[in-house]
Structure 1
Amino acid sequence: MVSELSPTPGARSVRDDDERPRPPLPVKMVIAGGFGVGKTTTVGAISEIEPLTTEASITSVAAGVDDLTHTPEKVTTTVAMDFGCVTLDPTLKLYLFGTPGQERFGFMWDDLLEGALGGLVIVDTRRLDDCYAAVDYFEHRQIPFAVAVNAFDGKVEHDLDDVRWALDVADHVPLTVFDARDRGSVRDALLVVLEHALTRAEG
């Protein structure tokens, strides 16, 4: 005789449900910065899927508007966004949205940053002026962010204290150096943003 307390054959118990692995928590993060600083490269270096990019060829007209002095080999530019994702551990998955760098596409930023936990502002120390707009955007909207200096050719032109002073970045904003081409380096930079955002949320 089957006891009334015995589970129905094939039925799942509450305990079984509790022991099933849960999907990782989705977290949105934005990769921002000026033109040609390495945003598309950053997303591509770490994404576990084939990144979605909206690259368009740089025309002669655009070349007259965008400064290619330090990126003469650049032949395409992001005109909408870059998208990729990476599972950091079984509990957390980052969805990465890269912004277009040119000011003429700035109208898209509000939509791209909707619901974002934080942002990584990439800086090229050879042309810090290009990064002011991104820093101001995050500061004025009080969105947690970190500044990541992209080490082009394995070096940076200025130390982090000089970069902080030049960008007038508050002391509580993390600054780090990374290589946009290296998966591990990109991961470390994203973890800096994540830790900073969570610390602000808890505070």
Structure 2
Amino acid sequence: MQTVKMVITGAVAAGKTEFIKAISEIDVVSTERKATDETSLIKKETTVAMDFGRIAIADDLVLHLFGTPGQKRFDFMWEILSEGMLGLIVLIDSTRPDTFRETIRIIEFFTGYRKTPFIVACNKQDLENAWSPEDIRYSLRLSSDVKVIPCVSKDRDSVKKVLLELLYTILADAEED
């Protein structure tokens, strides 16, 4: 049995916890606590350490999903959670361009810390005011070789597509090495 550690990161309220809950075969281990700062204006609870979920993709392949906290004050967890990761999903709220600058900072942290295959999943694509993945690519200044794909983090099939895209990216990256 092979396990693949994937980290799901993004700004506050990008949908990381919902993403993991939508696909996990186990009850998600969550460290959500009542939000007491400016985050409380966006949502009632926030992740303070991590979320953890698990899904078997095949008889011999299991994905371990680790969600990071989105608040800057908990970003010390990013380095801890990224130990041993084989792939990274950067989740972005497509309806909140005010979080795009923070998303750039998050991408720079993770790609600067460790060379890891990553994709950007544009969450909330089911909402009318969502930016398109191509507009988000342009806003984040991402090269054309980074996959930027649509997502709805509450939809199991959508989450599954994102995870499979990351797996394909990991495999392609491994073949290049």
> What TM-score, normalized to structure 1?
0.80
Shift of the alpha carbon at 1:137?
A: 2.0
The one-letter amino acid of 1:107's match is F
Residues 86-130 of structure 1: CA distance to partner in whole angstroms, max 9, x if unpaired? Answer: 001112110000000011111111110101011110011223223
Distance 2:128 2:145 in 1: 25
Residues 45-83 of structure 1: CA distance to partner in whole angstroms, max 9, x if unpaired? Answer: 100000000011012xx12xx383xx3xx2000000000
CA contact (8 A) 1:122 1:148 kept: yes
Q: Which runs of 5+ in 2 are unaligned?
A: none
What is the aligned residue count?
172
CA contact (8 A) 1:37 1:124 kept: yes
CA contact (8 A) 1:33 1:121 kept: yes
Residues 128-150 of structure 1: CA distance to partner in whole angstroms, max 9, x if unpaired? Answer: 22311221123223211000000
Within the candidate set 116, 119, 129, 1:146 is matched to 119
Quote the residue 1:134 is aligned against: 106
Within the candidate set 34, 48, 55, 1:86 is matched to 55
> What TM-score, normalized to structure 2?
0.91
Establish whether residue 30 from structure 1 lines up as the match of residue 2 from structure 2: no
CA contact (8 A) 2:53 2:64 kept: yes
The one-letter amino acid of 2:33's match is A
The one-letter amino acid of 2:6's match is M
Computed over aligned residues only, the root mean square deviation of the Cα atoms, in angstroms, reads: 1.5
Shift of the alpha carbon at 1:158?
A: 2.0
Within the candidate set 145, 153, 161, 1:172 is matched to 145
Q: How high is the sequence identity, in percent, across the aligned residues?
A: 41
Quote the residue 1:20 is aligned against: none
Quote the residue 2:29 is aligned against: 52
Moved over 6 A (4+): none
Q: Which runs of 5+ in 1 are unaligned?
A: 1-23
Establish whether residue 198 from structure 1 lines up as the match of residue 154 from structure 2: no
